[in-house]
Chains A and B, each alone.
Chain A
């Protein structure tokens, strides 16, 4: 029912844009029902349920572009907002590259993005999901004295896109997740850990027991953590931390950043950047995965794009605009307003994380980082971290309050082992990997 409604709203918006003077336009409408239950102390502490709509629109007039976002779907509200957006285009410079995409998605492909079990799930069952997880973290270890909450979330949604060239398409999707944040008391110090799972299907979620165990272990295993010595050592990035590193690689490989001179990967296409083990792929067509969709934010079919192949940078990731500007075809990475990842991941290797640790005589295992990249021009990586010091292939003692730092380009070149623990529990994911040498800064 929402499929038809979303298409109808997108088409209405296109008509209003034409009436307001736009020569071409594109409208994307999403309608999503979202649910969030948070439990604490065996009781429900937060219950949120809402249906939300959003219109995102690009309008073109005389080679100039303007953009509109609105949650006001009243007839007056919609036409007023669209009129203003079209008028705003007048201040924008004429840009030969602005416009609708040349190629749009044809036949519908079913990527299995919708789980009817999530759509039909009873509210009480969802609440129990959160309460059960909260109970499990407290049962898992007596040292868990508190929590920042255990959560179950889901979304049932449709996304529709239409443009004035006659294209219109829609797909439905679901997403569910569970997450928790146990707090354990380590003498006078509170140690919190966060861990969660997410997927398009209820059955894809990691079981509550396993989520609880991992979250609790991450809190209590760090008991007694101290600063490591300042030194250059091999560093293993556990898969969640590895994924945040891949976020930064994505940002640097995004044509939007390359085009504005804000990427350390600029001018490196075709050259060897990473080690032999670095094959990084953006793939929008993986069946049932969180980053998959039949078409991107401007209706361009998604695809599988190898970005790095055995260390060589093959391509940046493009939408239509930056593709035209930099002389490439869109790779199906438009978010509508910018460039975003589909399923963006590092190809896994053969050994387990345990084997990788055992193969590391001296080094550091990073389990968690804080901080984020604020600019991508210089290509410097530096994060606050916690994890373990590794001696003789074993986790010797927990460490925290240290940083790990280096240049992205050196880090990619020095990846000397990749583990087999890749899981598609987000759009940007990675298996654990080891960098042969990095600066660890502590005492």
Chain B
């Protein structure tokens, strides 16, 4: 669809006024989705994203233009637009190297969807609906969606890299709403990965729907969350949102190159309790955040971010790596061809520690157990974060007691990481349904974690 000679000509054109680096990102994405509400399939959507993004890098500056018109005139015009940066920020001339086609590994099975078997998607949703309603009569509504996406990319850069990749991504999301006339609550569970829809033969809609219904009904008897500082136990899997917000974003290289992150210039320093080790991994089999190659054509990699509490490195894209004298870590990602890449996380997780969950709970006099998070956000300069607890419980005298209603946790990244006092031996990745937003761009990511205890954190409830 996008041949090498066209990409070569676009790179030459992009560098017409100079620049140190240029790349061309071509994308064709097809998305099939179905949505269920009121017990029936309510909507079906077909989506196509097709276009080309062209970027020219001059020192710390980047020019970018995209086109959804694939005529060579329109693409050349986009290259001209991107090239304007080299007039604003003049630099020496670079010639684009001859393109060499590179092979990429395959972390995901990828059979391009040619025929859409609509009945198969509809059946997944209907099974989820039936299961959630059967679980408990207090479940009054089920909303579910299934998305099957295939993104093909062709990436060429002025240093001669030319790669193709074909990335599947499936997601099944189920929300159960429960009410007992007095209270109303909901539970959400999502799962998926970079694989085919057959994934849900293993992770069945029944398993997921039952969990969504369980959370919704448990939350009906939830008590208002406490307010103030106390211990927090973070649950295995979904607790990884904590790492993503509290540490991950602060280790993205754009913030560090610009010196706006609190972790800037601190590689080799102690930034967390020595129990804390954090990896970001682009090449885990079939995981939602995995990439054979990133959106700059660089191989997905295993990165050690923090090791025994010591900061080891940042997540790099090519632009920031070049300016920091480092190598790209395969972390350059973009939402679509309409956006320039940014350094981003892939699958961020903490490996196993030595404690058992039982020991961790038994050691906690008063606190909360955040089994999963429904989302979070961080401000990277000072490192303050919040996250919203999806499923949480009170911990009293070493025992898990009442479920908690909609608690929010607020803290500071390095402070929370210094207060990690126990790490469990049950590390796993959360079900794949997380999407990370940064600078107006959304990308799929994975998170993971063993059960972890933080000695003190602020819980934003309403009860003193």
Which residues of A are at the interface with B, using a C-beta cutoff of 8 A?
A: 40, 43-54, 65-74, 77, 81, 84-85, 87-93, 95, 123, 127, 146-148, 183, 189-192, 227, 230-232, 259-262, 264, 266, 370-372, 374-375, 377-380, 382-386, 400-406, 439-443
Q: For residue B388, which residues in chain A have a CB less than 8 angstroms away from its CB?
A: 371-372, 374, 382
Q: For residue B45, which residues in chain A have a CB less than 8 angstroms away from its CB?
A: 66-69, 85, 88
Q: For residue B63, which residues in chain A have a CB less than 8 angstroms away from its CB?
A: 46-48
Q: B405 at the A/B interface (Cβ < 8 Å)?
A: yes
CB distance from A336 to the nearest CB of B (A): 12
Q: Please determine whether B44 and A405 come into contact, CB atoms closer than 8 angstroms.
A: no
B386 nearest in chain A by CB position = A384
Q: For residue B277, which residues in chain A have a CB less than 8 angstroms away from its CB?
A: none
CB distance from B91 to the nearest CB of A (A): 12
Ranked nearest first, the 10 interchain pairs of A and B with the lowest CB-CB distance are A403-B460, A384-B386, A91-B118, A93-B40, A382-B408, A192-B381, A441-B227, A380-B406, A374-B374, A88-B44
Q: Please determine whether A190 and B260 come into contact, CB atoms closer than 8 angstroms.
A: yes
| Residues of chain B from 371 to 387 with CB closer than 8 A to chain A in the complex | 374-382, 384-387
Q: Please determine whether A374 and B34 come into contact, CB atoms closer than 8 angstroms.
A: no
CB distance from A67 to the nearest CB of B (A): 4
Q: B262 at the A/B interface (Cβ < 8 Å)?
A: yes
Q: B316 at the A/B interface (Cβ < 8 Å)?
A: no
Q: Please determine whether A90 and B47 come into contact, CB atoms closer than 8 angstroms.
A: no
Q: CA–CA, A309 to B382, complex, Å?
A: 41
B186 nearest in chain A by CB position = A377
A147 nearest in chain B by CB position = B260
Q: For residue A45, which residues in chain B have a CB less than 8 angstroms away from its CB?
A: 60-62
Q: CA–CA, A89 to B34, complex, Å?
A: 10
Q: B228 at the A/B interface (Cβ < 8 Å)?
A: yes
| Residues of chain B from 34 to 76 with CB closer than 8 A to chain A in the complex | 34, 37-38, 40-51, 60-70
Contact among B67, B88, B122, B385 for A384, CB-based, below 8 A: B385
B408 nearest in chain A by CB position = A382
Q: Please determine whether B84 and A378 come into contact, CB atoms closer than 8 angstroms.
A: no
Q: B198 at the A/B interface (Cβ < 8 Å)?
A: no
On whether A43 and B410 interact (CB within 8 A), knowing A68-B47, A192-B260, the answer reads: no
Q: Please determine whether A378 and B186 come into contact, CB atoms closer than 8 angstroms.
A: yes
Write the B107-135 contact mask toward A (1 if CB under 8 angstroms, else 0).
Answer: 00000000010110110000000000000
Q: Please determine whether A441 and B460 come into contact, CB atoms closer than 8 angstroms.
A: yes
Q: For residue A442, which residues in chain B have a CB less than 8 angstroms away from its CB?
A: 228, 458
CB distance from A35 to the nearest CB of B (A): 10
Q: Please determine whether B381 and A380 come into contact, CB atoms closer than 8 angstroms.
A: no
Q: For residue A54, which residues in chain B have a CB less than 8 angstroms away from its CB?
A: 68
Q: B363 at the A/B interface (Cβ < 8 Å)?
A: no
Q: CA–CA, A260 to B388, complex, Å?
A: 22
Binds A, one of B176-184, B286-294, B425-433: B176-184
10 contacts between A and B (CB under 8 A): A44-B85, A46-B62, A67-B45, A70-B49, A85-B46, A88-B34, A148-B258, A192-B260, A371-B377, A439-B463
Q: CA–CA, A43 to B59, complex, Å?
A: 11
On whether A70 and B340 interact (CB within 8 A), knowing A44-B89, A377-B185, the answer reads: no
- 10 extra A-B contacts, CB within 8 A, seeds A260-B143, A403-B227, A441-B458: A44-B61, A53-B69, A67-B44, A69-B46, A148-B260, A192-B260, A370-B384, A372-B375, A382-B407, A439-B460
Q: For residue B379, which residues in chain A have a CB less than 8 angstroms away from its CB?
A: 192, 370
Q: CA–CA, A260 to B176, complex, Å?
A: 10
Q: Please determine whether A402 and B377 come into contact, CB atoms closer than 8 angstroms.
A: no
Q: CA–CA, A380 to B407, complex, Å?
A: 9
Q: CA–CA, A29 to B396, complex, Å?
A: 57
CB distance from B310 to the nearest CB of A (A): 19
B34 nearest in chain A by CB position = A91
On whether A190 and B382 interact (CB within 8 A), knowing A68-B47, A72-B50, A380-B406, the answer reads: yes
Q: CA–CA, A383 to B385, complex, Å?
A: 10
Q: Please determine whether B67 and A403 come into contact, CB atoms closer than 8 angstroms.
A: no
Q: Please determine whether B65 and A439 come into contact, CB atoms closer than 8 angstroms.
A: no
Q: Please determine whether B462 and A406 come into contact, CB atoms closer than 8 angstroms.
A: yes
A36 nearest in chain B by CB position = B64
Q: Please determine whether A383 and B340 come into contact, CB atoms closer than 8 angstroms.
A: no
On whether A89 and B177 interact (CB within 8 A), knowing A43-B60, A262-B186, A374-B388, the answer reads: no
Q: B5 at the A/B interface (Cβ < 8 Å)?
A: no
Q: Please determine whether A66 and B61 come into contact, CB atoms closer than 8 angstroms.
A: no
Write the B232-273 contact mask toward A (1 if CB under 8 angstroms, else 0).
Answer: 000000000000000000000001001111100000000000
Q: Please determine whether B183 and A378 come into contact, CB atoms closer than 8 angstroms.
A: yes
Contact among B42, B141, B378, B381 for A93, CB-based, below 8 A: B42
Contact among B67, B116, B460 for A87, CB-based, below 8 A: B116
Q: CA–CA, A89 to B89, complex, Å?
A: 51
Q: Please determine whether B47 and A69 come into contact, CB atoms closer than 8 angstroms.
A: yes
CB distance from A201 to the nearest CB of B (A): 23
Q: CA–CA, A441 to B340, complex, Å?
A: 39
Q: For residue A71, which residues in chain B have a CB less than 8 angstroms away from its CB?
A: 48-51, 68
CB distance from A334 to the nearest CB of B (A): 14
CB distance from A443 to the nearest CB of B (A): 6
B374 nearest in chain A by CB position = A374
Q: B160 at the A/B interface (Cβ < 8 Å)?
A: no
Contact among B38, B46, B50, B410 for A401, CB-based, below 8 A: B410
Q: CA–CA, A95 to B60, complex, Å?
A: 54
Q: For residue A441, which residues in chain B have a CB less than 8 angstroms away from its CB?
A: 227-228, 410, 458-461
CB distance from A172 to the nearest CB of B (A): 20
Q: CA–CA, A230 to B228, complex, Å?
A: 6
Q: Please determine whether A49 and B387 come into contact, CB atoms closer than 8 angstroms.
A: no
Q: Please determine whether A401 and B412 come into contact, CB atoms closer than 8 angstroms.
A: yes
Q: B313 at the A/B interface (Cβ < 8 Å)?
A: no
Q: For residue B194, which residues in chain A have a CB less than 8 angstroms away from its CB?
A: none
Q: Please determine whether B460 and A383 come into contact, CB atoms closer than 8 angstroms.
A: yes
B61 nearest in chain A by CB position = A45
Q: Please determine whether B68 and A52 come into contact, CB atoms closer than 8 angstroms.
A: yes
Q: Please determine whether A146 and B259 come into contact, CB atoms closer than 8 angstroms.
A: yes
Q: For residue A230, which residues in chain B have a CB less than 8 angstroms away from its CB?
A: 227-228, 464
Write the B381-418 contact mask toward A (1 if CB under 8 angstroms, else 0).
Answer: 11011111010000000000000011110111000000
Q: B150 at the A/B interface (Cβ < 8 Å)?
A: no
Q: For residue B340, which residues in chain A have a CB less than 8 angstroms away from its CB?
A: 46, 48
On whether A378 and B118 interact (CB within 8 A), knowing A183-B381, A405-B460, the answer reads: no
Q: For residue B47, which residues in chain A have a CB less than 8 angstroms away from its CB?
A: 68-70
Q: B78 at the A/B interface (Cβ < 8 Å)?
A: yes
Contact among B61, B141, B188 for A375, CB-based, below 8 A: B188
Q: Please determine whether B42 and A378 come into contact, CB atoms closer than 8 angstroms.
A: no
Contact among A43, A90, A91 for B61, CB-based, below 8 A: A43
CB distance from A200 to the nearest CB of B (A): 20
Contact among A148, A259, A400 for B384, CB-based, below 8 A: A400
Contact among A183, A259, A264 for B184, CB-based, below 8 A: A264
Q: CA–CA, A125 to B382, complex, Å?
A: 34
Q: CA–CA, A190 to B382, complex, Å?
A: 5
B71 nearest in chain A by CB position = A74
Q: For residue A439, which residues in chain B have a CB less than 8 angstroms away from its CB?
A: 227, 460-464
Q: CA–CA, A53 to B338, complex, Å?
A: 11
On whether A405 and B175 interact (CB within 8 A), knowing A49-B65, A262-B186, the answer reads: no
Q: Please determine whether A372 and B260 come into contact, CB atoms closer than 8 angstroms.
A: no
Q: B20 at the A/B interface (Cβ < 8 Å)?
A: no
Contact among A73, A379, A386 for B69, CB-based, below 8 A: A73
